Structure 1
Amino acid sequence: METNYLISNKYKIPGWLLLTSGLIAGVLLLASEFESNFLEMKVLALYNGDSLFTNDEGFFKIIENSIVDEIIAIFIIIGGLLVGFSKEKVEDEFIYKLRKDSLVWAIIFNYIVLMFAIVFIYDFTFFNVLVYNMFTPLLFFIIRFNFLKYKS
């Protein structure tokens, strides 16, 4: 089965390394309650509206920020894309069907979880749910696809 959107199988191992290191670092950052001054540097903010006590809000501002959480998010996203969209050693129609079914299942399941959160979670905790929701479709897909592949 010829698929144009899949990349070479050789990217699967670096993808797993990036994904697992990003997830571990993310859990550690979450456990430390996002209090990291590590890798703090000046960065370009397209919009800065977070300044409650200064007049420093506006477009295209240079701000001081720790980039640890951004690096972790990039590791999770790139690692997840590499793992999820790397070809298998044998990429046949059965694997194609598993991949397609897992992707559809992951999207439906993700939006069911999101609807549950919309109804039952409020305030700033809901914002946290939305942040984690950036990663869940990809993670649900990878988990489901590998589970079905292992089961068969």
Structure 2
Amino acid sequence: MQTNYLLPHKYKKAGWFLFSIGVITGLLFMIFELEPDFFKIKVIQVFNSDTDFQGNKESFFSIIKNNVFDEIISIFIIIGGLLVGFTKEKVEDEFIYKLRQDSLVWAIIINYFVLIFAVLFIYDFTFLDVLVYNMFTPLIFFIIRFNFLKLKSRSDEE
């Protein structure tokens, strides 16, 4: 079976490293609200709809000073998660392909159940926080489910 969309297996270790660092740092960021001053740099902002002190509203392509710590954490989680989830296994057969496919479908369905729950029961700015975290949940659910099914299938073989 041909899986052209999967990366070579050698990227899996780098993926786990980035994903682990991103998740651990993200949890620390979320719990302790860390924002080290070292990460406050000038960045390009594509669009801004906030009103400033002079009454200026929408602006395109402006340079602002921003703490990019949370953006770096997000990039680590996303790139690491994609590498973990979409690199080939040592043995990439039809069974692994089926596990991967089932896990991906399961992750999307669970993700949208979480989102429906949030839409119905979470409001105001807390809802925006849930939406931010919700962009990571499909990858996280997929990785957990896929690795759980792989581990379970190995233990059933023994």
Q: So what's the TM-score if we normalise by structure 2?
A: 0.91
Aligned residue in 2 for 1:86: 87
Q: Distance in 2 between matches of 1:116 and 1:134?
A: 15
Residue 7 of structure 2 aligns to which amino acid in structure 1?
Answer: I
Structure 1 stretches of 4+ with a deviation exceeding 6 A read: none
Map of 2:148 onto structure 1: 147
Cα offsets for 1:19-51 (capped at 9, x unmatched): 000001111111222544331111000012345
The 5-angstrom pairing of residues 37-56 of structure 1 reads: 37-55=37-55
> Percent identity at matched positions?
66
Could you tell me which amino acid in structure 1 is paired with residue 15 of structure 2? Answer: G
Unpaired runs of 5+ residues, structure 2, are 154-158
Q: Secondary structure at the match of 2:45?
A: strand
Unaligned runs of at least 5 residues, structure 1? none
54 and 76 in structure 1: CA distance in 2 versus 1, 3 angstrom threshold? farther
C-alpha distance in 2 between matches for 1:50 and 1:59 = 11
What residue number does 1:7 align with?
A: 7
1:106 match:
107
TM-score by length of 1: 0.95
Q: Deviations over 1:88-125 (max 9, x none)?
A: 00000000000000000000010011000100000000
Please report how far the alpha carbon of residue 87 of structure 1 lies from its aligned counterpart in structure 2 after TM superposition: 0.2
Task: Tell me if 1:19 matches 2:19.
Answer: yes
Partner of 2:156: none
CA distance in 2, matches of 1:75, 1:85: 15
Give the match's secondary structure for 1:47.
Answer: strand
Q: Distance in 2 between matches of 1:51 and 1:78?
A: 33
CA separation in 2, counterparts of 1:27 and 1:110?
19
Distance 1:22-1:4 versus aligned 2 partners, 3 A rule: same
- Equivalenced residue count is 152
SS at match of 1:87: coil
Q: Secondary structure of 1:88's match?
A: coil
